[in-house]
Amino acid sequence: MTVFVATCLLTHPATGWNSNSRLDLVFSAVDRGTLSIDAYQATEPYATGDKAYYGGHYYSDKVFGVSVVALPMYAVISDVARLTHWHPSFQFIQYVLTRWAVALPAAVAVMLLALLLVRLGAIPRLAILATAGTYFGSMMFGYSTVFFPYLPGIAACLGALTLLLAPPPFRIRRAAAIGGLLGAALVFDLTFIISVAIIGVFLLAACWKAGRVRGLQLLAVAGGAAAVPLGAFIVYSIAIFGSPSIPYQYESSQFFREGMSKGVMGVTSPKLDAAWFLSFDAYRGIFFWSPWVILLVVCAVWLIRTDASLRTIAIASLAAFVGYFLFNAGYYQWWGGATMGPRLMLPMYAVAPLALVAVCRADTPRPLRVATFTTMAAGVALSLPVAMVDPQTLQANLTETLLHVRAGDRLRVLQLEVLQDFYRLRWQGIKPTWLIPIPLSFFGCMIVIGAGVTGAYRVAQRAEPAADPADLADELV
C-alpha cells in the first residue's frame, strides 16, 4: 500500500520516447485495431523515436509485455470516454495506465522481496528496513512512476522465486506458475534474460530433487507455461514482420539500428571506461547513487564463506550483480539515454537483493549491519529526490561524447543539480505535475513513505515474539 500510494502522489509530465513507444501500441491496438503506430509516432505528445519501420509502417520497437498489461485498463477508459463523450487528456491516461501496469506490480515486488528475506531467515523488522532501503535507495522507486517494464518484470521474477523457495511439495501447478512468470518477465523486457537464467538454475535444481520422471514432468510443464507468453510475442512479430523477428533489427533510426546490430543486440565486450562511469562516477555510477550495493557484494561474499545453507542464494545474488554490470558496460549506449542512473542494470533487483538477508539475522556482525543500513539511508537521500523530480533525467552530454568517453573525462551530472535545487527547496523550476501541486506532491510522498515504513516496522516488531517468521511474513504482505 505504501509503495502504491507514494507513486500516486507523483507524475511526470514528460513521458519520453521509451514510454511513448509502449503507450502508442496500446492506443493503436484499442482505438484503431492495428499494431502500427503510424497515427501517433510523429504527433505530440505521443511522438517517439523508439520505433521500428517495416513495410511502409511504423511499429513499437519494444517487446510488448507492459503494453499488454495496460490494454484492458485503457479499453475501459476508452469505452467510458465514448459513452460519456469525455475526452481524457494524454496526461491523465498515462498516469492511470502507469499506476495500473507499473505501480501495482511494483507494490507486489516489494512485498515479495520482504517475504523472501523472511523465508531465508531474516528478522521481519529488519527485512522491512532492508526492503525499504533497496526500493527507495535505488532506481526502483523512480521507475515505478513511469511507463517502463522493469518493475513488472522484477515482480514476475520475484514471484517465481517465491514459489520456488516455498515449502514442499513441488507440484505441477506451481511449476506451471513459475514457468509462466519467467516467460512473462522476458516479454516485459528481454534484458531480464540474466535474472531468468539464474532463477532457471533454481528451477532445474528443484526438478532434480523431485526425481528423474517427476522432475522431467515438472520441467516440461514449466517450459510449456513459459512458452505461452513467448509464443504470443512470436505471433505478434510474425504478424508485423512476417517472421519471428525482434523489432530492434528494423529500427527506423540508423544510429539505433547500427548500434543494435553490434554483438548480441548491441552488447559487446565490457568497456573499462564505461565501467568507471557505471560504478563510482556520479554520472551513472550505481555505487555513487546506491552506495549500499557495495555492502550487498560484501554480504554475498560473507554468506558464501560462512553459511553453507545460503551459499547458493549468495552466489545467485552476486552473479546477478556482476552479470548486469558487465552487460551494461558492454552495451553500445551504456548510459541508457535519459535516466537517473544505470537503467539497464535494473533487472538485477529481481535476484541481487536476496543477499541482504545477511544483515537481517541475529548473528549478523554489527559493523556489517550498521554499514549496510547507513549506506541505504544515504542511497535514499540521494536517489529519492531525483526519482520524485523525474527519473528520466536528461543525459546532459552529447551522444558523441558519451560514445567515446574516457575515465578521466568530466561529464555534466544533471542529477547533482537536481539534488542541489531539491534540498535548497528551489522547486519553482520544476514543471507542475498533473493535478497535484509540487509541494503537496513531494511532501506528501515523503510522509507516506516514512509513515508506511515505520508502521510496517512496528507491526513486525510487535508480532515477532509470538509468530513464526514465515507466518509473520505472510501477515505483513
CB 138 within 8 A of CB 92: no
Q: Domain total for the chain?
A: 1
Amino acid 76: pLDDT: 97
Yes or no: say if 119 and 473 are a contact pair by the CB < 8 Å rule: yes
Q: At what angle do helices 124-136 and 104-119 cross, to 10 degrees?
A: 140
* pLDDT given for residue 133 in this prediction: 97
Q: How far apart are the first and last CA of the chain?
A: 10
pLDDT at residue number 465: 66
Q: What is the mean pLDDT of residues 45-70?
A: 95
What is the amino acid identity at position 326? L
DSSP bridge pairs for 43: none
Grade residue 466 by pLDDT with cuts at 50, 70 and 90: low
Residue 96 lies in a domain: no
- CB atoms under 10 Å from CB of 340, counted, come to 25
Question: What integer is the mean pLDDT of 383-392?
Answer: 94
Cα angle 28, 30, 32 (rounded to 5 degrees) comes to: 50
Q: What is the pLDDT of residues 326-365, one digit of tens each?
A: 999 999 999 999 999 999 999 999 999 999 999 999 999 9
**329 in a structural domain:** yes
- In percent, the amount of the chain with pLDDT more than 70 equals 96
Domain presence at residue 208:
yes
Confidence of residue 12 (pLDDT cuts 50, 70, 90): confident
Q: Determine how many CB atoms are found less than 10 A away from the CB of residue 52.
A: 25
Q: Which of 36, 110, 105, 38 is nearest to 65 (CA)?
A: 105
What is the pLDDT at residue 439? 85
**Average pLDDT of the chain to the nearest whole number:** 93
Quote the crossing angle between the two packed helices 193-209 and 150-164, to the nearest 10°: 10
Q: Is the CB of residue 466 less than 8 Å from the CB of residue 112?
A: no
Cα 190 from Cα 203, distance rounded (Å): 19
Answer yes or no: is 104 within a domain: no
Cis peptide before 45 (omega within 30 of 0): yes
Whether the predicted pLDDT of 469 surpasses 60: no
- pLDDT higher than 80, residue 470: no
Return the pLDDT at 434. Answer: 61
> Grid coordinates standing for 12?
511526470
Phi, psi (rounded to 5 degrees) for 120: -85, -5
Per-residue pLDDT, 314: 97
Q: What is the pLDDT of residues 153-203, one digit of tens each?
A: 999 999 999 999 998 889 999 999 999 999 999 999 999 999 999 999 999
DSSP assignment of 3-17: HHHHHHT---S--HH
The answer to whether position 92 is within a domain reads no
- Check: CB of residue 162 under 8 Å from CB of residue 116: yes
Indicate whether 252 pLDDT > 50: yes
- Tell me if 161 is assigned to some domain: yes
Residue appearing with cell numbers 528475506 = 117
- Do 356 and 117 touch, CB atoms closer than 8 A? yes
3-state DSSP call for residue 168? coil
What pLDDT score does 248 carry?
85
Does 474 score more than 70 pLDDT? Answer: no
Q: How far apart are alpha carbons 276 and 282 in whole angstroms?
A: 10
pLDDT tens digits, one per residue of 195-241? 999 999 999 999 999 898 999 999 999 999 999 999 999 999 999 99
Compute the distance between CA of residue 220 and CA of residue 243 in angstroms, rounded to an integer: 26
| Position 476 pLDDT exceeds 50 | no
Domain enclosing residue 382, as ranges: 2-87+109-476
Q: Is the pLDDT of residue 464 over 80?
A: no
In a domain, 250, yes or no: yes
The pLDDT of residue 435 is 65
Q: What are phi and psi of 49, to 5 degrees?
A: -100, -5
Mean pLDDT across the stretch 423-448? Answer: 81
User: How many CA atoms lie less than 13 Å away from 60 in the CB half-sphere?
Assistant: 26
Instruction: Look at residue 418 and tell me whether its pLDDT is greater than 50.
Output: yes
Q: How far is CA 280 from CA 41, 137, 372, 440, in A?
A: 37, 16, 17, 34
Q: How much of the chain, in percent, has pLDDT values that exceed 90?
A: 83
Q: What span, in angstroms and rounded, lies between the C-alpha atoms of 297 and 294?
A: 5
pLDDT of residue 408: 86
Residue 467 has pLDDT above 70, yes or no: no
Distances in Å between the alpha carbon of 409 and those of 39, 401, 413, 418? 42, 9, 12, 21
**CA-to-CA distance for 96 and 468, rounded, in angstroms?**
38
What percent of the chain is helix, strand and coil (3-state, nearest 5)?
A: 70, 5, 30
Q: Helix/strand/coil (H, E, C) string of 324-380?
A: HHHHHHHECCCCCCCCCCCHHHHHHHHCHHHHHHHHCCCCCCHHHHHHHHHHHHHHH
